[in-house]
């Protein structure tokens, strides 16, 4: 059963179309990450979901009912802002109780609910403190508690971890995910950090320039990026121009800029002579001393080796083409003393764009 839907939603400011006809269907209990670079329209989309911005066109449905004419204070949507937006003049208890007081719950019920949610975020001893007395991580948990206590239909998180330092971010992303799963609330998580999105979300929605480029699980998006933007935005990729030199059933032979040829799988029927782009993940490539037979195996020269602990990052030149290769440190010892190697990848690896 679909819980939350965006249908042909667009937002235009004068001549500038910031959000361009996006469609999204979110199932009950899902955690969706809205991921994209700055300016892609994800925050504008969030503001429209929350009711702070009017839609230029399209509709937003919550459990089948249109939210278009519903003002923000009646939408029953919990929000955690990037700056947390805690009320500085109220202590932790009153901050969290605010939503309950607006709903006119009695004192006993308020006390019970606030304590329950303080339990969930593990801040029981901090009721009487004021926001300025709390650390960033604690403030974030208060913001989360405040949004959850009203038992909203939907939870919106607007880059909630951006203001935290790196270690805390990693820890908090899993804590938020745990809480979300336990409470079972449908959640939309806006971020520009792909590692965060991939670690935490059931599905990712990749946005750029006001459009949705792809919706899928982390694996789907990483292994089968739909389009150049997604391939470049998620993870690392070697992307280079190729010319189709021969067409086979479900496969092609392509001419690389270096003059070498390689085989690739393709669902799409290409025409010989077409110029297009090919994307190859660094970890799909391995390096050997001699040519390998049933893979694409091209001669190259090692230009740079970076030992990164668990991985080695290698830069190999094949003619005018430079490929980044990532292999584990356990693989054979490579050194700049013997730079002439072969670069190999399976025929099934990589994505050919059309």
Partner 1 sequence: MCVFSVSPVLVILIESFTAGNYISFPPDSFSIKWYKEFLKRDEFIESVYVSLYVALMASVTSTFIGLLASVAMFRYSFFGKKIINLLFMAPLSLPGLILGLSLLQFLAINSIPRNIFTLSLTHIVICIPFAIRFITVSLTGVDPKIEQAAQSLGANRFYSFWFITFPLLRPGITASFVFSFIISFDEVAASIFVSSTNAMTLPVRIYAYIDQNYDPLVTAVSSLLIFGAAIALVIIEKTVGMGKLFGMK
DSSP 65-101: EE-TT--GGGS-EEEE-TT----TTS-HHHHHHHHHH
Q: What's the closest the beta carbon of residue 191 comes to partner 1, in angstroms?
A: 17
- What does DSSP say about strands 286-288 and 321-328: parallel, antiparallel, or unpaired? unpaired
Q: Which CB sits closer to partner 1, 77 or 312?
A: 77
Please identify which residue in 64, 88, 249, 309 interacts with partner 1, judged by CB under 8 A. Answer: 88
Q: Which CB sits closer to partner 1, 18 or 256?
A: 18
Residue 9 CB coordination number (10 Å): 23
Q: What's the closest the beta carbon of residue 84 comes to partner 1, in angstroms?
A: 9
Q: Determine, following the binding rule CB under 8 A, whether residue 145 of this chain makes contact with partner 1.
A: no
Q: Residue 78's beta-bridge partner residues?
A: 155
Please identify which residue in 1, 14, 89, 310 interacts with partner 1, judged by CB under 8 A. Answer: 89
Q: Residue 201's beta-bridge partner residues?
A: none
Q: Which residue has the tokens 């399976």?
A: 346
144 closest CA partner among 193, 78, 93: 78
Task: Give me the long-range contacts of 172-175 (CB less than 8 A, separation at least 24).
Answer: 172/137, 172/140, 173/199, 173/200, 174/199, 174/200
Q: Binders of partner 1 among 250-309, rule CB under 8 A?
A: none
Q: Which CB sits closer to partner 1, 52 or 347?
A: 52
Q: What's the closest the beta carbon of residue 70 comes to partner 1, in angstroms?
A: 12
Q: What's the closest the beta carbon of residue 75 comes to partner 1, in angstroms?
A: 8
Q: Which CB sits closer to partner 1, 150 or 200?
A: 150
Cβ atoms 216, 203 nearer than 8 A: yes
Which token pair is 202? Answer: 């059931």
Q: Determine, following the binding rule CB under 8 A, whether residue 150 of this chain makes contact with partner 1.
A: yes
Helix 107-121 with 136-148: angle, nearest 10 deg: 130
Q: Which CB sits closer to partner 1, 32 or 150?
A: 150
Q: Determine, following the binding rule CB under 8 A, whether residue 75 of this chain makes contact with partner 1.
A: yes
CA distance 298 to 276: 20
Q: Determine, following the binding rule CB under 8 A, whether residue 18 of this chain makes contact with partner 1.
A: no
- What does DSSP say about strands 203-208 and 261-265: parallel, antiparallel, or unpaired? unpaired
Q: Which CB sits closer to partner 1, 145 or 201?
A: 145
Q: Residue 26's beta-bridge partner residues?
A: 4
Q: Determine, following the binding rule CB under 8 A, whether residue 11 of this chain makes contact with partner 1.
A: no
Q: Determine, following the binding rule CB under 8 A, whether residue 130 of this chain makes contact with partner 1.
A: no
CA distance 254 to 243: 5
Q: Determine, following the binding rule CB under 8 A, whether residue 54 of this chain makes contact with partner 1.
A: no
Q: What's the closest the beta carbon of residue 44 comes to partner 1, in angstroms?
A: 14
Q: Determine, following the binding rule CB under 8 A, whether residue 148 of this chain makes contact with partner 1.
A: no
Only one of the segments 25-33, 132-140, 143-151, 211-219 lies at the binding site for partner 1 (rule: CB under 8 A); that segment is 143-151
Residue 228 CB coordination number (10 Å): 15
Q: Determine, following the binding rule CB under 8 A, whether residue 52 of this chain makes contact with partner 1.
A: yes
CA count, 13 A, side-chain hemisphere, 194: 16
Only one of the segments 78-86, 173-181, 211-219, 255-263 lies at the binding site for partner 1 (rule: CB under 8 A); that segment is 78-86
Please identify which residue in 7, 61, 85, 247 interacts with partner 1, judged by CB under 8 A. Answer: 85
Q: Determine, following the binding rule CB under 8 A, whether residue 103 of this chain makes contact with partner 1.
A: yes
Please identify which residue in 14, 16, 65, 71 interacts with partner 1, judged by CB under 8 A. Answer: 71
Question: Could you list the residues that contact partner 1 (CB under 8 A)?
Answer: 50-52, 71-79, 81, 83, 85-89, 98-99, 102-103, 146-147, 150
């Amino acid at each position: 059963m679909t819980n939350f839907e965006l249908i042909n939603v667009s937002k235009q400011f004068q001549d500038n179309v910031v959000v361009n006809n996006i469609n999204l269907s979110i199932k009950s209990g899902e955690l969706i990450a809205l991921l994209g670079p700055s300016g892609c329209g994800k925050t504008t989309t969030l503001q429209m979901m929350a009711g702070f911005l009017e839609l230029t066109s399209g509709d937003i449905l919550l459990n089948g009912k249109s939210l278009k004419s519903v003002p923000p204070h009646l939408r029953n949507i919990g929000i955690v802002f990037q700056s947390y937006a805690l009320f500085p003049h109220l202590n932790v208890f009153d901050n969290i109780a605010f939503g309950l007081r607006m709903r006119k719950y009695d004192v006993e019920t308020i006390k019970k609910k606030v304590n329950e949610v303080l339990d969930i975020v593990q801040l029981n001893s901090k009721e009487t403190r004021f926001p300025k007395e709390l650390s960033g991580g604690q403030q974030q948990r208060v913001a989360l508690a405040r949004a959850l206590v009203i038992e909203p239909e939907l939870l919106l998180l607007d880059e909630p971890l951006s203001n935290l330092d790196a270690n805390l971010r990693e820890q908090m992303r899993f804590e938020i995910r745990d809480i979300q799963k336990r409470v079972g609330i449908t959640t939309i998580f806006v971020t520009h950090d792909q590692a965060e999105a991939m670690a935490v979300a059931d599905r990712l929605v990749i946005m750029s320039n006001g459009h949705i480029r792809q919706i899928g699980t982390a694996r789907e998006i990483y292994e089968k990026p739909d389009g150049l933007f997604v391939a470049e935005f998620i993870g690392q990729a070697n992307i280079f121009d190729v010319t189709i030199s021969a067409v086979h059933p479900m496969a092609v032979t392509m001419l690389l800029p270096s003059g070498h040829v390689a085989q690739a799988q393709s669902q799409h029927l290409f025409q010989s002579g077409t110029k297009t782009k090919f994307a190859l993940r660094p970890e799909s490539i391995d390096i050997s001393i001699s040519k390998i037979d049933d893979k694409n195996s091209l001669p190259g020269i090692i230009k740079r080796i970076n030992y990164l602990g668990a991985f080695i990052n290698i830069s190999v030149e094949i003619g005018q083409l430079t490929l980044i290769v990532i292999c584990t440190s356990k693989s054979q010892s490579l050194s700049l003393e013997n730079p002439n190697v072969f670069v190999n990848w399976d025929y099934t690896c990589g994505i050919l764009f059309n």
